[in-house]
Structure 1
Amino acid sequence: MDSHQHTISTPQSMSGRGLFHGVPVNLTFLPAPANHGIVFRRTDLNNAEIPVSVEHVTKRVRRTAIKVGEASVDTIEHCMSAVAAHAIDNLIIELDGPEVPAMDGSSLPFYETLLKAGIAKQDTPRRRLVVKTPVVIREDDAMVAALPSPDPGMQVVYELDYTGVSKVIGRQLKTFDLDDPEADYAKEIAPSRTFSLEAEAMAAQKAGLFPHLTVDTALVIGDDGPLGTNEFRFDDEPVRHKMLDLIGDLYLLGAPIQGRIVAYKSGHPMNHRLVRELIKQHEAARLKDLAHHHSVLDVRRLFRMMPHRYPMLLVDRVVEIVGDQRAVGVKNVTINEPFFQGHYPNTPIMPGVLVVEAMAQLSGVLIGQSLEQVGKLPVLLSLDRVKLRKPVTPGDQLMLIAEAVKIRSRIAHMHCRAYVAEELAAEAQVKFMMVDDEAE
């Protein structure tokens, strides 16, 4: 696996109709700087940007879609599969419609367009997610799992079982190593097309979907095989396409995987769940490691940076600061906390408002790293999307994370989370108004 990040060398464009709604759309791939990530840009919506991340996945049937605010992009999985196969880390994908063009229903047109654009190596090291412990997602008889592997890349095993549903498809099994230099994604996986059984296709068109498609332009499988003039490109084309989708969905991680992926009858929602669990595992392991590191800021230095004092100082130490973008802090919760005397005497639970306050205090430390905020005091302005997911009790260690969404001269907007071990205890969007610090 290459240890450097990659983007493309030159812009390249393609046009087509969206798979589900048939809306014409123009798409352009553009280079992006290191650590930018993959971002879709809706040029028809004032250049609204939607980063490719599982946190932006929105519910859709039989496809992967992402949404930020009112801007969304549907059916990104075929494009993202080609991006993953090229090991591209940083890319802007402009389009002037709500859905990625379907082209022929495979990822090959995207793969070839990116190949034409040229892959450019960047100096920045590439991040990757190493599967340390097994993660298994089950739903009825379907399953998808990520397992540790000593090999450097991602190996995928997919079993598709249409026994009793379609004798043409039946049971199919495919293995593929995405990072094996001898494996050929362009020949083995990319040409496989999205497919539908005849009954499913007819019901979908009655519901107003796929209005522009016919049995000659889409792979529709009847009792005896593909309908119309279509033929299978591979004897096992359906399972290859399911693998194509899985590779695209897993790139919602924002980084390549080192591990072995095993799937049985898995679809997009289960793939998304696996990504979320992998992120949760990775974040928990990273926070556990950080908790044992030396402090960047201990409580004595925090006294010099923050106006809070006992009993309202709710950050014990800061273990990581990344510029003015991200901070990680620790709050050790003990039975000696004064609020436990009344909340509640027989069942001590840290008040949720104080968990939020701890996150807000860490945000203040991060805001203070910005040169624009020298001599300023962040005063809480608003709280949005506050969710308290787990009680915090004596003996817990709260790992606090504050990430900057936007920091300006008058307003700061932060995304905050608090974890206990591997579990998310709380999260919130916090906004501050910057006022002059009279102590300066």
Structure 2
Amino acid sequence: MSYEFLGATPDHWCRVPALVEANWTEEQIIALAIPLSNSSGKREGCLVHNYNYTAAALRGFNLTMSNVSAIRNRGEELIACHSRVYNTSQYKSTIVTEWDLTCERRALYSTTQAMTQAGTFFGSICYGHVLHRFGRRKGVLFACALSALIGFLITAAPNIETYIFLKFLFSAVEFGCYIGCFIIAMEVSSVSQRTYVGSFYPVPWSLGYMILPGIAYLVRPWRWLQAAFSLPLLFTVFYYWMLPESPRWLILKGKYNKALELLKRAAAINRTSLPSHHAIIKAMENIKHKEDTSRMKHRFGGSVADMVKSVMRYMFLLLVTPEVRVRTLVVFCLWSISTSIYFGVSLSSYNLRYNQKNRVLTLIIHVFLKNQFQGDYNLDAEMAESRSRLHQMADCRSEGVQRRAKSPTQATANSRALAPYSCALG
């Protein structure tokens, strides 16, 4: 939720150049030029009184306030302004204050978060194939390195367009870190352990979520705050020595000896013994043969045209297979609804901050829906092992756990991309 701090919107009001040049104080400018909102009782942030401020600057504050009608222009009582002044007492700088993302430019503010979720959607589609072709470990290492690089590049964004583009790229590759590690964790776990592994997997994410406001409190300028958020990514360099490849991927690629080495290392750590090498290699060959046989039945080849046909076949199966259709529609609907509520509440939580009951309700919604998210991840991953692999995503080359893990993300990314605009509308 760095969006809430990097894009925080402090109190603001219209800039009146004529009065600023006349050395009026902020209090004097607000008292004369900025009207009160009828709905909130606060000063308007996008409207200003339709006065002749050049004449007001010449007359002075006291004389002007004694006879305001003398400087009133004909026409509308209130008019829109095109530049603002921001209260920097709480936030020294944010992307909103730097690029003036309020009023008529508010859509750009929502677009920053929408493009972040669009990047997640793009990454969920593309990165599964990267993890399959090059391996889970290499895919994760590449994604983590690129995430760190882009994270620090964001701090140097010269304009809002570049910032949005970099956030899109960051979300796309950062998804590779998350889902790649999740797939490895699930594939190295036994069936009985996957529920526990999947449940504890987001714990570091939750801890980071709790620490994030404290970091934002200590680091106020948004560029330095972005650098602080990107700094932990440098520690992923230790993945190079600590992160193993998925034995399942090695087996399906025919790299039996490397898979056997990993199994030996796991057996040593768990203080258990393995069957004979011949028996293990034979079992690996059987697993690969079964997977290859299933895969050949449901793919055409390796060309781009074949990939497109495979995708269309998958979508067609969703429409004509009753059991798959019902389950898919239920999962997509649940994910979309839950995500809309979760991110809608998260992104508009500033509207609830003055009501203690609303804050408690917000916390309950966060806890309940976040647990549901991870539960659905676990359920989808478990279903991938118990159901046939006829309905592979993309080019039918991603294994079941990988496919099921990224499918909910594609469902939620659409809702998450629309949530900021929903909040902006009210």
Q: Using CA pairs below 8 Å that are at least 6 residues apart, which structure has the higher relative contact order? A: 2
Tell me the TM-score normalized by structure 1. Answer: 0.23
Q: Write 1 or 2 for the structure with the bigger share of helix.
A: 2
Q: Which has the larger radius of gyration?
A: 2
Q: Write 1 or 2 for the structure with the bigger share of strand.
A: 1
